[in-house]
Amino acid sequence: MTPEALAAVIREAIGHLADSDALQVDVPSEVHVERPRSRDHGDYATNAAMALAKSAGLPPRAIAELIARALQSVPGIAQAEVAGPGFINIRLDSAASGEVARQAVEQGQAYGRGSTLAGRTINVEFISANPTGPLHLGHTRWAAVGDAIARVLAAAGAAVTTEFYVNDRGVQMDRFGASVLAAATGQPIPEDGYHGGYIVDLAAEVVAEEPQLLELPAEERLAGFRESAYRRQLGQQQQVLALFRTHFDVWSSERALHESNAVEHGFEELRSHGHVFTADGAVWLRTTDFGDDKDRVLVKADGEYTYFASDTAYYVNKRERGFDLCIYLLGADHHGYVNRLRAVAACNGDAMETVEVLIGQMVKITRGGQEVKLSKRAGTIVTLEELVDEVGVDAARYSLIRYPVDSPLTLDLEVISQRTNDNPVFYVQYAHARISSVLRNAADLGIDWRTAAFDPGLLTQEREGELLASIAGYPRVVASAAELREPHRIARYLEELATAYHRFYDTCRVLPRSDESLTQTHIARLWLCAASRQVIANGLGLLGVSAPERM
RNA sequence: GCGCCCGUAGCUCAACGGAUAGAGCAACCGGUUUCUACCCGGUCGGUUGGGGGUUCGAGUCCCUCCGGGCGCGCCA
């Protein structure tokens, strides 16, 4: 029995009590079931009685008594007793606990997937870097976390589209082009240009492969270099992201937005809602109608569109493509955008909740405790590529996802490339490899556990119970990670699951020793192993981290 | 000045408003002569930055102060 199933049972019990007038309450839509820290408090505990006390006008313990008595007759529940201020502590019988092993094995990759977000059509936009340089560490955090969020949302039943918005228009692109051209022709790179070493490499590449560009008249030459370098740089970003296992369904170009007239179209939509006005020769969006500090300019007095104009049109475009939720992942240096983005939604006649902005704090990186400075302009940058080269995709992804994004993060390159428990990705992966080995050995011994009768009631050891409970908790972890947009919960959970497995393995012999014959207990433990492995693989899959069969 | 985020063990960090605030690392002590020891067990370690409040119950919610990060363009 999973905690969700138990919660449903408790809710049902409360419903019966309410129907029979034993208790005058509204049946709560959600019943909270938790795994108590201390096993003395049972397998699970619920605070339902305490939560109902106020509306029922009865002391929590009295309500708890009623519910507990009802639960005692439920199949699978071995014991239900009132404790403390009104908790109900519940003990399952071992067969009911053990059934989740069967569920996990039989459901396979589907185990843990849910439907809490079914019907939602969600756009997740992240990274959206300028195509004027390699992706650096901040982008890398989003590459890992954004991708994991998308996977987790999908696991909760949402239809998810991941999207990368390419800022390929405007002054930065011109500076980029000018920088590459300067490098190609031996001129000093402009003060306001890009000075990274990669500019020189790009310039050399362009010259080698498109020497004819050098022959063009000045203006066309500049444009030629800009476009060529842009294509190459974007291609490089795409290639590195693919290597990093971060997939985007849609690459959306700011330039294309303008060329397809989507910007003007977006303005019309907003105008029809009455939030566009003209002042001082500029066109504005009245975002202050919806909580922004100040109104924002869409078209400057000189006729140029602002960056915000594209953002606004892009939002309208997303809505027209059918997304009912637009999630943006932004760096902390962009948190000033939150209010105006939400205001854009409201100006479009949408609920402000249609826009959800996740703010990620900065990532610092150290090597052996010493900070590695990041500066895109100065060229001493740690790029996504360099990080992966140094620590590998699995360690990089896992380390970046493992922490909530709203706190600043410091990663030490030495630590996350070591195979210590400072670097738990290996700990989790090792559990998977270890189980794989056991299952291989079982096959070698000719044990066909899958078709043998599985008696979950034989899993009565304390550590078997802990492991089963951990497995049973997985679907809820996925659901809450999706609801809270916090994939780090998956990682933390996997570490606990791996611990539970290692502890189980330490005390419970799975396979028969050479002088032993095969028993039902061996079979039951093999099911437990297979279930554990399935859940680890599913969880790592949500993080985009591999689940190796051997290490 | 205004706004957002953060402050938890020596370090890096967890903890749907729930019971005695937890892991890993570091330090120290143990465990494998048969399934992967990249593992397991134990010891040490805390006024959750300070102070108020809300309630059956606060690391978590509210107020305030202190400390740190980031942002406040007709820039992108």
How much is the ipTM here? 0.93
C-beta of residue A246 within 8 angstroms of C-beta of residue A147: yes
Confidence of residue A382 (pLDDT cuts 50, 70, 90): confident
- The closest nt to A437, taking CA to C1', is B36
Q: How far is the CA of A353 from the C1' of B63 (A)?
A: 27
Q: What is the mean pLDDT of chain A?
A: 91
- Listing from the earlier edge strand, what are the strands of the sheet with A282-285? A276-279, A282-285, A296-299
SS3 A542: helix
Look at residue A533 and tell me whether its pLDDT is greater than 90. yes
In this predicted model, which residue has the larger pLDDT, A317 or A7? A317
Over range A380-390, report the average pLDDT. Answer: 80
Which residue bears the tokens 């080698």?
Answer: A208
Q: Which chain B nucleotides are covered by protein, judged by CB under 7 A? A: 3-7, 12-16, 18-20, 22-26, 31, 34-41, 56, 69-76
A365 or A45: which leads in pLDDT: A45
Q: Which of A535, A532, A513 is nearest to A522 (CA)?
A: A513
Nucleotide nearest to A430 (CA to C1'): B38
Q: How far apart are CA A52 and CA A398, in angstroms?
A: 41
Total residue count of chain A as it appears in this document: 551
- With CA of A410 and C1' of each nucleotide, the nearest comes out as B12
Q: Find the residue closest to B56 using CA and C1' atoms.
A: A85
Once rounded to an integer, what is the mean pLDDT over residues A537-541?
97
For range A36-62, the mean pLDDT:
81
Query: With a 7 Å cutoff on the CB, does A51 touch strand B?
Result: yes
- pLDDT digit string, tens, across residues A465-514: 999 999 999 999 999 999 999 999 999 999 999 999 999 999 999 999 98
Q: Residues A27-42: what's their mean pLDDT? A: 78
Please report, for residues A16, A18, A61, A258, the alpha-carbon distance to residue A24 in angstroms, rounded to integers and kept in the order given: 11, 6, 15, 61
Q: Which long-range contacts (CB under 8 A, 24 or more apart) does A220-224 make?
A: A221/A181, A222/A177, A222/A178, A222/A181, A223/A177
pLDDT band at A350 (very low <50, low <70, confident <90, very high): very high
Domains of chain A: 3-92 (3.30.1360.70), 126-253+361-418 (3.40.50.620), 421-543 (1.10.730.10)
Amino acid A365: pLDDT: 80
- Chain A residues 377-436, Cβ below 7 A from strand B: 403-404, 406-410, 419-422, 424, 426-427, 430, 433-434, 436
Q: What is the pLDDT of residue A48?
A: 87
For A279-331, how does the pLDDT look when each residue is reduced to its tens digit (9 = 90+)? 999 999 999 999 888 999 999 999 999 999 999 999 999 999 999 999 999 98
Residues 157-186 of A with CB under 7 A from strand B: 167, 169-172
Measuring from the CA of residue A36 to each C1' atom, give the nucleotide at the shortest distance. Answer: B19
A254/A422 Cα distance (integer angstroms): 41
Percent of all residues in chain A with a pLDDT value above 90, rounded to a whole number: 68
Determine the pLDDT at residue A389: 87
Strands A77-83 and A87-92: what pairing?
antiparallel
Q: Is the pLDDT of residue A55 over 90?
A: no
What is A466-490 written as a DSSP string? HHHHHHHHHHHHHHHHHHHT-THHH
Would you say the C-beta of A269 is within 7 Å of strand B? no
Q: Determine which of A19-23, A154-158, A306-310, A490-494 has the lowest per-residue pLDDT on average.
A: A19-23
**pLDDT of A375 above 70:** no
**Residue A373: predicted pLDDT:** 62
Q: Which residues contact A49 (CB under 8 A, 6 or more apart)?
A: A60, A61, A63, A64, A67, A82, A86, A87, A88
For the CA of A332 and the C1' of B65, the distance in angstroms is 25
**Nearest nt (C1') to A432 (CA)?**
B36
- Nucleic strand B near CB of residue A282 (< 7 Å): yes
Rounded CA–C1' distance between A480 and B61, in angstroms = 20
Q: Is the CB of A141 under 7 A from strand B?
A: no
Nearest nucleotide to A42, CA against C1' atoms: B19
Instruction: Give tens-digit pLDDT for A83-102.
Output: 877 889 999 998 989 999 99
DSSP letter string, A380-427: B--BHHHHHHHH-HHHHHHHHHSS-TTS-EEEEHHHHHS-STTSHHHH
**Containing H/E element for A215?**
none
Tell me whether residue A372 is exposed, middle or buried, using C-beta atoms within 10 angstroms of its C-beta: 0 to 12, 13 to 18, 19 or more.
middle
Is any atom of nucleic acid chain B found less than 7 Å from the CB of residue A489? yes
Q: Which of residues 333-362 of A touch strand B (CB under 7 A)?
A: 333-338, 359, 361-362
Strand order in the sheet with A409-412: A370-372, A363-367, A409-412
pLDDT over threshold 60, residue A67: yes
> Residue A90's pLDDT is what?
92
Sheet of strand A44-46, all strands in order from the earlier edge strand to the far edge: A33-34, A44-46, A87-92, A77-83
pLDDT exceeding 70 applies to what percent of chain A?
A: 98
What confidence tens digit (pLDDT) does each residue in A117-148 have? Answer: 999 999 999 999 999 999 988 889 999 999 99
CA of A423 to C1' of B38 (A): 11
pLDDT of residue A201: 93
